[in-house]
Amino acid sequence: AQSVAQPEDQVNVAEGNPLTVKCTYSVSGNPYLFWYVQYPNRGLQFLLKYITGDNLVKGSYGFEAEFNKSQTSFHLKKPSALVSDSALYFCGSSASKIIFGSGTRLSIRP
């Protein structure tokens, strides 16, 4: 069965430090993975997606994600965190069905 997991409910990072938000998947075939961000009282905003090709995907607001087939992971990364990056982040897959992970709350302290 198709599934996506975000193992961390919360990630805390100091401003200026690199950040990683983890995502693992269980999908047969191409997983078609994506990341969205949600700010309070707002809908989800698209960050990036992996379809095929280069394993390093670059997205909006300086974010990138690395597709790792052997580890079935698609972690979201940013070299230098900003306080404004504080939000709720969702990983998902649109392979056979559209599913989202449970979300990771990212908190960047000044």
Partner 1 sequence: EAGVAQSPRYKIIEKRQSVAFWCNPISGHATLYWYQQILGQGPKLLIQFQNNGVVDDSQLPKDRFSAERLKGVDSTLKIQPAKLEDSAVYLCASSLSGGLVTDTQYFGPGTRLTVL
The reply to whether 94 sits near partner 1 by the rule CB under 8 A is yes
Among 19, 78, 92, 106, binds partner 1 (CB under 8 A): 92
Strands (E), 1-110: 3-5, 10-14, 19-21, 24-26, 33-38, 44-50, 56-58, 64-68, 73-78, 87-93, 99-100, 104-109
x/- contact string, 6-45, with partner 1 (CB under 8 A)?
A: --------------------------x-x-x----xxxxx
Question: Token pair of 58, please?
Answer: 């670059």
Q: Does 53 bind partner 1 (CB under 8 A)?
A: no
Residues at the interface with partner 1 (CB under 8 A):
32, 34, 36, 41-46, 49, 51, 90, 92, 94-95, 97-103
